[in-house]
């Protein structure tokens, strides 16, 4: 995938640290120009300084502090990118927070709402802001970073889990709305990453996130977790022409054979493979529950 993003322009949110920063590096290696954003201006400036030497001839790295849950910041981010680049090809919605930890009756609800604003509404606002430009060009790529909360319960982390599940259904819905415009919308499950978010899980302790999840997090910290590069490589693939026509899917960077998915485009588009769906008794070999 050497230069599969050559002459392409991307916005990457939450790009100052962790997976977002790794995606930014991979996008530069693949030939893209970037607009990166994060809420922390100091960390963002540090990231931009580290990324700019990686840019080749004709590539550039722009950075703008932004809170993606604020419509004004989102508008300014998209307009600045369009003004500097002339067009946009890819949006990577990576920015997210853990939110409060603890049982629902014992947490700060303002923190709970704030997590939903950033993790879900931020993705919606950015997608909404960039869509007119993608539709006008009759192409575009929107890539949403997901997490474990999208596919399984996370007791003690309800805001994180609920927002990640909701954003996957948003991805599936937006993919159908934009299919006639040749815009691909997909989500990435990057695997269990050893990032600042894992440190927040561990700091919360077993009494707030539950002993089972805390123990799993301790093992992950010790074992090293999934490489950041896997999620970043999948983000490059989904932002490139290699993935054209793949849309409305939640794809695991670690477990799914994503590099070969273009060979199965008809099957992907004709089924609910790599989507979130309700399980009924017959899916588990049970003879009851079918209305007999």
Question: Mind telling me the catalytic residues?
Answer: 160
User: How far is it, in rounded angstroms, from Cα 252 to Cα 231?
Assistant: 8
How far apart, in Å, are the Cα atoms of 234 and each of 56, 115, 132, 150? 22, 25, 25, 18
Give the strand pairing for 140-145 and 250-252.
unpaired
* Percentages (nearest 5) of helix, strand, coil residues in the chain: 55, 10, 35
How far apart, in Å, are the Cα atoms of 20 and each of 25, 152, 213, 227, 276? 9, 23, 24, 13, 24
**15, 37 contact by CB (below 8 A):** yes
Counting every residue, how long is the chain?
292
Q: Is 260 exposed, middle or buried (0-12, 13-18, 19+ CB in 10 A)?
A: exposed
CA quadruple 26, 123, 9, 60: dihedral sign: negative
Please report which residue ranges of the chain form alpha helices under DSSP H: 18-29, 41-51, 71-85, 109-116, 122-137, 158-178, 196-204, 206-209, 211-223, 228-239, 265-269
- Of 206, 269, 258, 202, residue with least CA distance to 233: 258
Chain Cα centroid distance, residue 32: 18
């Amino acid at each position: 995938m050497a230069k599969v993003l050559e002459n392409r322009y991307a916005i990457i949110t939450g790009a100052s640290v962790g997976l977002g920063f790794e995606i930014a590096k991979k996008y530069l290696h693949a030939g893209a120009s970037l607009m990166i954003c994060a809420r922390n201006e100091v960390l963002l400036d540090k990231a931009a300084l580290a990324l700019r030497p990686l840019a080749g001839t004709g590539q550039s790295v722009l950075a703008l502090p932004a809170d993606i849950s604020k419509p004004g910041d989102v508008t300014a981010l998209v307009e600045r990118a369009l003004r500097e680049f002339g067009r946009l090809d890819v949006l990577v919605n990576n920015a997210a927070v853990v939110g409060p930890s603890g049982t629902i009756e014992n947490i700060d609800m303002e923190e709970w709402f704030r997590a939903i604003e950033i993790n879900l509404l931020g993705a919606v606002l950015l997608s909404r802001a960039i869509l007119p430009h993608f539709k006008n060009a009759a192409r575009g790529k929107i890539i949403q970073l997901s997490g474990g909360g999208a596919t399984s319960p996370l007791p003690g982390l309800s805001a994180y889990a609920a927002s990640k599940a909701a954003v996957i259904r948003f991805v599936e819905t937006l993919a159908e709305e934009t299919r006639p415009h040749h815009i691909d919308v997909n989500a990435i499950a990057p695997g269990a990453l050893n990032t600042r978010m894992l440190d927040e899980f561990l700091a919360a302790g077993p009494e707030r996130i539950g002993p089972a999840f805390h123990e799993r997090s301790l093992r992950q910290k010790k074992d090293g977790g999934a490489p950041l590069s896997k999620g970043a490589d999948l983000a490059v693939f989904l932002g490139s022409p290699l993935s054209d026509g793949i849309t409305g899917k939640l794809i695991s960077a670690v477990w799914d054979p994503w590099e070969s998915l273009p060979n199965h485009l008809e099957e992907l588009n004709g089924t609910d493979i790599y989507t979130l769906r309700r399980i009924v008794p017959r899916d588990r070999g049970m003879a009851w529950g079918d209305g007999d």
